[in-house]
Amino acid sequence: MVWHRWVGLAMAAFLVIAGFTGAIITFQDELDAWLNPHLFQPAWQAGQPMLDPYQLQVRAQQQAPANTRVDELQFKLPQNAQAAHHGEAVQFRLTPVDPQASLHADQLFIDPQSGQVLGSRLSTAGPFQRETLLPFLYKLHYSLALPGVSGRLIMGIVAVLWTLDTIVAFFLTLPRRQPQSKSSYWQRWKPAWLVKWQASGTRINFDLHRAVGLWLCSVLLIFAWSSVMFNLREQVYLPVMTKLMPFDLSWRSIPKLPQPLTSLPMPWPQAHQLAQQAMQGFAQSHHLQIDYEDRLRLDRERGVYQYFVHSSADLRQDRGNTAIAIDAYTGEIKGHWLPTQDQSGNTFSNWIGALHMAQVFGLPYRIFVCVTGLSLVMITVTGVLIWSRKRQSSKVVKTLQRKKWHRSGA
């Protein structure tokens, strides 16, 4: 009880931020496109074909801000007028030529027909422009929008405490042993799952805190532990999980080069061809069905191309996350990433990550995640109110005891 009270108080502000921003960014893409139609909604020209991925990459590089690179190809393009009309601009990630230099923009939005830039933005900027509001809320959600690693470290520590406290809170709802009781265990536990709406405001507040937390206990545990995975993967998550499940860590184990690549190792069409050949062999050996290509990126720090496709191993329907990393010069596979059908640790991690980010089960689950975020805020606020009322009651009792002592002494 003492742990739950004081750890809950210590986490309260952080959980309110995480829950509220999480509820909003569940619909980040839709809200972002609604706020910024000039970035996401190109004007559709009937009869005009789409540019191919190579042409789009060239146009993007030509129009990118000075001292930035477009080190990727985007293959998942709008297929028809209806898709383009509903906001299917092609987004490119910008990287600095000088890794030490500050960026003025890290996202570029391109019309897939004309190749013209619709706009750019720095996703790490503040919330005071509509272009950067949703990216700011996303960063606020996982790192408090603090620079460097400090925000992620803070939220990672909160996630560890949240994970432990969720387990403690569950056990606090269990009924105590009563050997002489005639009621069954379930009958004594049942009130913890219910809210007595006819009771006083204090009792309703307590019941909401306990019952909603109990109903959402398993979901909150998934969100808490996946938050540890996102923010303290190397420090906490993997040391714990590798003792329980096998992992393939080849994707994250590719070492950095002594110096990042300063020039393009080969033309993009040649790199694409090498990636396709490597993926074809990889898919055959892992019995994968490839549905479509998604993107190809050059990682200059590690000297590899990262090739993403959508396959039968993917969890998301709208994005391909089956990937291989190939040597930027030879095409040799250096690592791979499979959402499922790999080591059980990888599959488990990808599932809790997809559940956390509402990337599975369509719109109904996204609504559920949004409501869960708001419920987390409610659970936290009701918990603070319970503590506040108990503190006030304790003060009143101490005051009465003090007065009684003075009277008896007089």
pLDDT at 34 over 90: yes
User: What are 264-317's pLDDT values in tens digits?
Assistant: 999 999 999 999 999 999 999 999 999 999 999 999 999 999 999 999 999 998
pLDDT at 394 over 90: no
Pairing of strands 72-74, 117-121: unpaired
pLDDT at 180 over 80: no
User: What are 80-100's pLDDT values in tens digits?
Assistant: 444 444 458 999 999 999 888
- What Cα–Cα distance (Å) separates residue 263 from each residue in 58, 59, 158, 241, 354? 15, 18, 42, 39, 35
Pairing of strands 322-327, 304-311: antiparallel
> What is the average per-residue pLDDT within 19-34?
96
CA dihedral (172, 369, 36, 296) in degrees, to 10, reads 110
Question: Are the beta carbons of 5 and 387 closer than 8 angstroms?
Answer: yes
Question: Are the beta carbons of 137 and 144 closer than 8 angstroms?
Answer: no
Question: Are the beta carbons of 109 and 84 closer than 8 angstroms?
Answer: no
CA 322/CA 309 separation, integer angstroms: 5
CA 307/CA 71 separation, integer angstroms: 12
> What is the average per-residue pLDDT within 132-151?
95
Q: How confident is the model at residue 337 (pLDDT cuts 50, 70, 90)?
A: very high
CA 229/CA 227 separation, integer angstroms: 5
The terminus-to-terminus CA distance of the chain in angstroms comes to: 38
> What is the average per-residue pLDDT within 3-13?
94
User: So what's the pLDDT on residue 172?
Assistant: 94
> What is the average per-residue pLDDT within 391-400?
72
User: So what's the pLDDT on residue 53?
Assistant: 95
> What is the average per-residue pLDDT within 370-391?
96
Q: How many CB atoms lie within 10 A of CB 141?
A: 22
Question: Are the beta carbons of 325 and 334 closer than 8 angstroms?
Answer: yes
User: So what's the pLDDT on residue 88?
Assistant: 84
User: What are 49-87's pLDDT values in tens digits?
Assistant: 889 999 999 999 999 998 999 999 999 765 544 444 445
> What is the average per-residue pLDDT within 143-171?
96
Q: How confident is the model at residue 147 (pLDDT cuts 50, 70, 90)?
A: confident
pLDDT at 138 over 80: yes
- What Cα–Cα distance (Å) separates residue 187 from each residue in 79, 181, 182, 191? 57, 11, 10, 8
DSSP one-letter code for 286? T
CA 350/CA 251 separation, integer angstroms: 14
Q: Where are the alpha helices (DSSP H) in 46-108?
A: 53-63, 81-85
User: What are 162-175's pLDDT values in tens digits?
Assistant: 999 999 999 999 99
Question: Are the beta carbons of 292 and 309 closer than 8 angstroms?
Answer: yes
User: What are 201-259's pLDDT values in tens digits?
Assistant: 999 999 999 999 999 999 999 999 999 999 999 999 999 999 999 999 999 999 999 99
Collapsing DSSP to helix, strand or coil, 326 comes out as strand
Global confidence as pTM:
0.92
Average pLDDT of every residue of the chain: 92
User: So what's the pLDDT on residue 279?
Assistant: 98
Tokens at 279, concatenated: 């993926």
pLDDT at 397 over 90: no
Q: How confident is the model at residue 398 (pLDDT cuts 50, 70, 90)?
A: low
User: So what's the pLDDT on residue 177?
Assistant: 79
Q: Which residue has the tokens 């910024």?
A: 36
- Helices then strands, each counted (H, E), the chain: 14, 10
Q: What percent of the chain has pLDDT over 70?
A: 93
Q: Which of 75-89, 97-111, 326-340 has the lowest mean pLDDT?
A: 75-89
